[in-house]
Amino acid sequence: MLLYTKEPYELIFQNQTNDKTVTKTVNGVLLEGCEQPDGLHITRVLSTDPKAYLRKEFSPGSIITLTQ
């Protein structure tokens, strides 16, 4: 299903917001996701670089390991 709208994500999916959402920069790409014990569960890419959206490892739903 695709949803084309100008409304903010939080307004449309009010019951699905997560207070534990964080933004992290990984390899120069700004990502939004939820921190989990096994890594960052990516919910969306916030980069201004169009090539970042084509990188498979940053696709929403992916989990990447963060190093401290």
Helix ranges (DSSP H) in 1-68: 9-12
47 vs 52: CA distance, rounded Å: 7
Per residue in 26-42, pLDDT (tens digit) is: 999 999 999 888 899 99
Q: Six-digit token pair at 53?
A: 């959206």
Write down the pTM of the prediction. Answer: 0.68
Could you read off the pLDDT of 8-28 as tens digits, one per residue? Answer: 877 777 766 556 889 999 999
40 forms beta bridges with 35, 64
